[in-house]
Each structure stands twice: as structure tokens, then as C-alpha cells.
Structure 1
């Protein structure tokens, strides 16, 4: 496993990381979840990502229980807040009240003393940015959080956050967690160049486009039984990419992967890691074998000719 710095920080995270969205606490039972986390740790994956809203805290509980058997300084633990955790008017968003209370609740659920990375799960149009950043800075100063980041923020929002924190001598965000893969590339235009300039690293989620880039879905064929596309909780995120035109592109990518003697999943993950601004790819895994296969993408490189061939397929 290879490691990269998280943005401008000195913190090093594994190129492949393990997340818990749509899996732990839901479609994958606790025992199997722990087996996957154990295998990830064994493979040298040191970055584990979750969020309070994933199955209303259940994912945090499962991940916390699994990680507590290991030395706390041997892994990097990240969680997030923003989405509703109750029905009250203050049970959501990025107000100081919600941030401070949810950080405390997440620490309690996971039985941890601190988080390595605490992230704003989305941008809050209703909370003043300086209120949000001041709350994050206070969590850092209290020792409950070591680094702060955001998720799915625009280039303008990231820039404003960095400059506001710098002006007030507050802790600056070091990461952004966007959706990015071969089929969804919008961050390349503005978010990546802005982040590179400001020292913000990308922690990419959905790098396999919800499983479309695994090659399991075939054009004109019925959906495989038990696949994520047949799960009502997750197939809503897949409809835009489950098209025959897209699936034919995946078949052509499989040909390149075969020539390199790697799986198409490893090709897709390594392609994301071609960007120096990407600190880590967050994968979801429902079995130890899955995370073992994904981890092999770390260190895979491409020739200039291969990158041009991939670009021609994706165009």
C-alpha cells in the first residue's frame, strides 16, 4: 500500500481507503463488516471514513467497535456532520450548535477520544461560514479533532473557507470529499485546480460509480441478482450511469485492464490516482476479498499512450 499526504497537511493516508456508506449498519451485517475492516487494516489501509447519518449512527458504531482493537495512532479515522439526525430545527446543518453536539455524539458512539478528520458533509446555505469555521477551529483547539475538511463543496466555497480561516488565524480545511470517477468528472474543471492552489486534497467517494465500473453490468442484459443496482437504497444513485452506451465503454476499458493483467476495478481506481491532488479513493466493500482486490490498485501506473486510449473511450 502506498500513502499520500492529505492536502497541505503532514498527515499521510493510504491511497485506497475504506468507507461505510450504504454498507455497514445496513446491507452488510456487523460480523462481515468487521471482517472487511480487519482485512483492510491488514493490507495497510490506514484511512477509514464514515458519517453520523449513515444508518443514523449504526455505521459509526460498527466501525468504532472494529477499530478499537488496534492502536489508536495506527489508523486515520474520519467522520462527518450536516444531514438531519432528528426532527428538530437544529438537528441538521452546520450551525455551531449542531457541529459541537454531533461531534460529541459521534465520539460517544465510536468510543473514541478524537477524530483525525472531521468533515462538513455538505455546504450549509443557512449557517454563516465564519460560524461553521469557528466551531471547527474550536474542536481542533479542544483536541477532539486533528484536521478538518468538507465534502462536495464547490471551488468558490472551498476558496472562501480557506481564505476566511487564514484571515482569522483559524485552522484551515485540508480536504474535500467529492464524487469522482471515470463517468463523473465535474471536479476536474474548477475544484481540482483551486484545491491544488490552496493545499486541499481530494478524498474521492464512489470511485467505481456505484459498481458500474466493476464490469458486472452488461449492455442489454438483466441486472445481476443481489447486485447494488437491485437494492432500492442505492439504485437511485445509479440510474444515470446504467445505460448501454456507458456499459459498452466499460467493456472497452476491460480490454485495457486485461492487457495490463489487472481487474477493471483496479484500472478505474488507479486512473483516479493519476491526479496528484487526489489523496485517497474511498471504496466500499462487502467482503474481505473485495477490499483485497481494490487495494491492489495502489501503485498501478499508466503510460501516456494508455491514458490517451482511456480518454478516447471516455470521451
Structure 2
């Protein structure tokens, strides 16, 4: 397993981080299964575990906390997030228009101070190593969020703060606000990044690197497209997410066809160089000089075992050049992927 410093914090973290979105009802994993995943990852050298209060409405955090009982807390860099409403609230059909969940989310001081206490309780710890804003909050001044987070840091409840899926402009605004107002600054960014979604190479990654931020990428296997299961002429095994969406009308996307075409070329390339597509895809992400760790989100031990070999894999220049021929640097196969489109143009009400 490779280790890198988390931005300029001096904290050393593994090149693969354990993402826990599948822990709990969303991934249909039991307490015993999640504990086995955490312990196997730790045994393999993974020391960064990432969760969020929105994952299965906090159940993921509870399971992580239980899995870490008996583990030396100093051996684990524990990260979680706030900002989004709980997943179970959305599934239950709570109508935000009636005010039930309107203030149980966002970047306001009012919500942050409540959210952190709930996360600490569920995780069974007295501090969070990395507390991340899960998405930008256009309704809240970033100074409001940074001020609350600064107070939490001074109280020792969080050690470092970060962002997730912020644009380059939002990263710069937050850094400037911290400097002008003498507030703690975001030291990490967690963006979408994979061979099939390389849009952040054009702006987010250079910006994060300029400010000395650590980068923890999510969906390095592009939602399963780079798992090797989508082979031509064969019916792919239905994923857990496919089963969750059973019965819902899902339109066939032309972008999906392009992703499968690109994934097949990458599969052949990986085979030619004696590795799995999973291993090559993860090593590509962790090989970018701005990336600290790639978040893997296994639901089973078999999935975890297939991903761990990438922890010390370094791709050759030849392989990287061949990958560039399949998906050009700074480009995304699916134009709808995060960061592939300017954030100012994504919401209709912000452009019309």
C-alpha cells in the first residue's frame, strides 16, 4: 500500500480509502459484513475511512463506529460529511415543502452544530479527523459555514475540514474567504474522478494542487462501468444498484453505450499488461500527482479483494498514453458527469 500526505496537513493516508456508502440498507450489508470489510481493509494497510451522515440516514456512521470498536483510534483517519439530508428521509417521502427537512441539511451554523454532534454520537468517537461539506450550498454564505467549522475545530470536535464536489471557482472563493476572515481553511476536496470522467483535470485538480489541498476521489470505477462486468455479447450481472432501481423507468442513454465502448478498450489494454481493469482504473486515479487517495466502495469482501492490489500499482508511461487515446485528458465520456459541465449551467434557473 502506498501512503501520501493529506495535502499539507502532515497526516499520512493510504492511496486507497474505504468508502462506506454501501454500509447499511443502501448496500444491504449487515453489521457483521461491514465489520469484516473494515477489518480486512485495515489489515491490508488502508487507514482512511470515509462515511457521511446522509448514507442510509446515519446508519453507515453507526456501523463504522461499531466496526472500529477495539481498534486503536490513532491508527485510523476517520472522515465524514454533512450538508445533504438523510437518505431515509428522502425515501420515506417527507415533503420538504412542509418544512419537515428544510433545516435538517445545508451549510448553516444552525445545522452544522447539530450535524456534528449526531455524527460524533453515531461514530462513537470524541473527534472527527476530517469533516467535509458534502456539496456546495448556494443558499448559504461560505463564510457562515467556515465560521461554524472554525469554532468546531477550536473546540477539538473536528481536526480538519474539507469539501466534496466543489468547482474550481468555489474552491478559490472558500480559500479567499478563509484568508480574509482569518478562518480555518478547507484542506481537502473530494471530487468525482475516473478514466471515463476526467473533466476535473482541466481545473479542479490544478486548483486543489495550487492551494495544497489533498484530493480524495469518488467513483473511480465509474459506477461499475470499469468493473469489467460490461463485456460485449454477454449479459452483465445485475448490480445491487440495478436491483434497487428495478421497476423504475430508466431510459437508455447514448452516453452509456459510449462508456461501454470505452470500457471494453480499456479492458483489453489492462489484459495486455497483465492486470485487471479494476486494478488499472484505480491505479490511474491514484497516479495523478494531485490525487491523494481513491475512495473504493466495496459491498462484499470479494469486491474489496479485487481492489486492494491497486494499492501499490504504478502504471507505466506506455499504459497512460494508451489510456489517453481512449479518453482524452480533461474530457468526460458522459457530459452529465459532475464537473463535465460548468456548475453555473447545470441548474436551469441559473441560466434562464
State TM-score, norm by structure 1.
Answer: 0.93
Of 256-265 and 134-143, more deviation after overlay is shown by: 256-265
Paired position in structure 2 for 1:101: 114
Paired position in structure 2 for 1:301: 314
Query: 1:46-57 residue pairs with structure 2 within 5 A?
Result: 46-57=47-58
Q: Distance in 2 between matches of 1:239 and 1:194?
A: 35
Greater relative CO (CA pairs within 8 A, separation 6+): 1
State TM-score, norm by structure 2.
Answer: 0.84
1:181 matched to 2:197? The reply is: no
Judged with a 3 Å threshold, the aligned counterparts in structure 2 of structure 1 residues 240 and 82 are, in CA distance, closer, same or farther, namely farther
Q: Distance in 1 between matches of 2:283 and 2:44?
A: 17
1:66-115 per-position Cα deviation (integer Å, ceiling 9, x unaligned): 01220000000010011124624321100001011100011011111000
Choose which of 119, 129, 150 in structure 2 pairs with 1:116.
129
Judged with a 3 Å threshold, the aligned counterparts in structure 2 of structure 1 residues 244 and 218 are, in CA distance, closer, same or farther, namely farther
3-state DSSP class of the match of 2:4? strand
Q: In the comparison of the two structures, how many residue pairs are matched?
A: 314
Shift of 1:247: 1.7
1:44-79 per-position Cα deviation (integer Å, ceiling 9, x unaligned): 100000000111011100011001220000000010
CA contact (8 A) 1:116 1:146 kept: yes
Judged with a 3 Å threshold, the aligned counterparts in structure 2 of structure 1 residues 217 and 304 are, in CA distance, closer, same or farther, namely same
Paired position in structure 2 for 1:229: 242
Query: 1:86-235 residue pairs with structure 2 within 5 A?
Result: 87-219=100-232, 221-232=234-245
Paired position in structure 2 for 1:13: 13
Shift of 1:279: 0.8
Gaps in structure 2 of 5+ consecutive residues: 90-99, 329-352
Of 10-19 and 283-292, more deviation after overlay is shown by: 283-292
Shift of 1:245: 3.2
Paired position in structure 2 for 1:284: 297
Q: Distance in 1 between matches of 2:133 and 2:304?
A: 26
Gaps in structure 1 of 5+ consecutive residues: none
Judged with a 3 Å threshold, the aligned counterparts in structure 2 of structure 1 residues 153 and 241 are, in CA distance, closer, same or farther, namely farther
Q: Distance in 2 between matches of 1:177 and 1:253?
A: 25
